[in-house]
């Protein structure tokens, strides 16, 4: 079996970027994830990159969503009722 690229040598920053885990905050317990974490802990640039990625996601999460307009639901039902009536008329012909 071919060794995982992360096991061949100490990580470079580029490799760390390429293997950044899917979940930025996940508990990393695989060997490769532990090594990535160790690299990040000792690397100012990777720490800054990871922090800014986390902050990007955080900013989007903090964006407020406007309140759902209450009229929308009744508008949906109005359309559905019109469609139903049309269907009835067609089936009566």
Partner 1 sequence: MTDHLDTQADHQLITKVKAGDQRAFSKLVQRYEQTVWGFAYKLCRDKDKAEESYQDTFINVFRKIDQFDGRSKFSTWLYTIVANNCLMKRRRRKLEDLLESFDDAPDPEDENVKKQLAAWDDTPIEKLLHGELRETLDDAIQKLPDEYKVVFVLRDLEHRTAEETSKITGLTVPAVKSRLRRSRVFLRQQLHEFMTS
Kindly state whether residue 85 participates in binding partner 1, applying the rule CB under 8 A.
no
CB 4 within 8 A of CB 32: yes
Kindly state whether residue 6 participates in binding partner 1, applying the rule CB under 8 A.
no
Kindly state whether residue 79 participates in binding partner 1, applying the rule CB under 8 A.
yes
Kindly state whether residue 28 participates in binding partner 1, applying the rule CB under 8 A.
no
Q: Write the interaction track for partner 1 spanning residues 38-67; mark x where CB under 8 A is met and - where it is not.
A: -----x-xx-xx-xxx-xxxxxxxxxxxx-
Size of the site for partner 1 (CB under 8 A): 38
DSSP string, the chain: -PPPHHHHSSPPHHHHHHT--SSTT----SHHHHHHHHHHHT-HHHHHHHHHHHHHHHHHHHSPPPPPPTHHHHHHHHHHHHHHHHHHHHHH-
Contacting residues toward partner 1, per CB under 8 A: 12-14, 16-17, 20, 22, 24, 43, 45-46, 48-49, 51-53, 55-66, 68-69, 72-73, 75-77, 79-80, 83
């Amino acid at each position: 079996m071919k060794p995982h690229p992360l096991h061949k040598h100490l990580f470079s920053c580029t490799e760390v970027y390429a293997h950044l885990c899917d979940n930025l905050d996940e508990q990393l317990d695989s060997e490769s994830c532990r090594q990535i974490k160790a690299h990040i802990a000792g690397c100012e640039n990777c720490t800054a990159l990871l922090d800014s990625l986390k902050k990007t996601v955080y900013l989007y999460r903090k964006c407020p969503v406007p309140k759902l307009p209450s009229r929308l639901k009744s508008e949906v039902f109005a359309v559905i009722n019109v469609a139903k009536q049309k269907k009835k008329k067609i089936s009566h012909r």
